[in-house]
Amino acid sequence: GIKIATIGGGSSYTPELVEGFIKRYDELPVKELWLVDIEEGREKLEIVGNMAKRMVKAAGIDCEVHLTLNRREALKDVDFVTTQFRVGLLDARIKDERIPLSHGMIGQETNGAGGMFKAFRTIPVILDIVKDMKELCPDAWLINFTNPSGMVTEAVLRYGKWEKVIGLCNVPVGAVKSAAAVLNKKEEDLFFKFAGINHLHWHRVFDKDGTELTEKVIDALYGPNADPAVVVENIKNMRFLYEQVKNLKMLPCPYHRYYYMTDNMLKEELEAFHNEGTRGEVVKRIEAKLFELYKDPNLDHKPEELSKRGGAHYSDAACEIINSIYNNKGTVMVVSTRNNGAIDDLPYDCAVEVSSIIRAHGAEPVNFGKFPPAQRGLLQLMKAMEELTIEAAVTGDYATALQAFTLNPLVPSGDIAKTVLDEMLEAHKDYLPQF
Ligand code: NAD
Ligand code: G6P
Ligand code: MN
Ligand code: MN
pLDDT in tens, 69-104: 999 999 999 999 999 999 999 999 999 999 999 999
- pLDDT in the model for residue 299: 93
Q: From the CA of 199, which ligand is nearest? A: 3
Q: Cβ(12) to ligand 2 under 6 A? A: no
Instruction: For the chain, give the mean pLDDT.
Output: 96
Q: Are strands 190-197 and 200-207 parallel, antiparallel or unpaired?
A: antiparallel
Q: How big is the chain, counted in residues?
A: 435
Residue bearing the CA closest to ligand 2, atom 6: 310
Q: What angle do CA 154, 157, 160 make, to 5 degrees?
A: 110
Does the model's pTM come out above 0.95?
yes
Q: How far is the CA of 147 from the centre of ligand 2 (A)?
A: 9
The DSSP output letter for 397 is -
With bands split at pLDDT 50, 70 and 90, how would you rate the model's confidence at 237? confident
Contacts of 184 by beta carbon, 8 Å cutoff, 6+ apart: none
Q: How far is the CA of 112 from the centre of ligand 2 (A)?
A: 15
Residue bearing the CA closest to ligand 2, atom 5: 310
- 135: buried, middle or exposed (CB in 10 Å: 19+, 13-18, 0-12)? exposed
Q: How far is the CA of 374 from the centre of ligand 1 (A)?
A: 33
From 90, 108, 178, 232, the mutation candidate for ligand 2 (largest count of ligand atoms within 8 A of CB) is 232
Nearest atom in ligand 2 to the alpha carbon of residue 286 is 14
pLDDT higher than threshold 80 for residue 228: no
Instruction: Report how far apart, in Å, the C-alpha atoms of 285 and of each of 87, 90, 203 are.
Output: 19, 11, 34
Under 8 Å between Cβ of 320 and 167: no
Nearest atom in ligand 2 to the alpha carbon of residue 149 is 9
Q: How far is the CA of 8 from the centre of ligand 1 (A)?
A: 6
- pLDDT in the model for residue 226: 86
Q: Cβ(234) to ligand 2 under 6 A? A: yes
pLDDT tens readout for residues 8-67: 999 999 999 999 999 999 999 999 999 999 999 999 999 999 999 999 999 999 999 999
Amino acid at 173: V
Rounded Cα distance, 97 and 114, in Å: 6
Around ligand 1, the residues with Cβ closer than 6 Å are 7-8, 10-13, 36-38, 40-41, 44, 84-87, 89-90, 109, 125, 145-147, 149, 168-170, 310-311, 314
Looking at the DSSP bridge assignments, the partners of residue 356 are 333, 365
Amino acid at 374: A
Rounded Cα distance, 186 and 176, in Å: 10
Handedness of CA 137, 65, 319, 170 (dihedral sign): negative
Looking at the DSSP bridge assignments, the partners of residue 333 are 356
Q: From the CA of 259, which ligand is nearest? A: 4
Under 8 Å between Cβ of 1 and 30: yes
Q: From the CA of 67, which ligand is nearest? A: 1
- 188: buried, middle or exposed (CB in 10 Å: 19+, 13-18, 0-12)? exposed
Q: How far is the CA of 6 from the centre of ligand 1 (A)?
A: 10
Looking at the DSSP bridge assignments, the partners of residue 365 are 356
Residue bearing the CA closest to ligand 1, atom 24: 11
From 149, 168, 234, 269, the mutation candidate for ligand 2 (largest count of ligand atoms within 8 A of CB) is 234
With bands split at pLDDT 50, 70 and 90, how would you rate the model's confidence at 155? very high
pLDDT higher than threshold 90 for residue 331: yes
Residues designated as active site: 255
Q: How far is the CA of 57 from the centre of ligand 3 (A)?
A: 31
- pLDDT in the model for residue 379: 98
Rounded Cα distance, 3 and 33, in Å: 6
Q: From the CA of 404, which ligand is nearest? A: 4
Please name which of 230, 228, 185 lies closest in space to residue 208, comparing C-alpha atoms.
Answer: 185
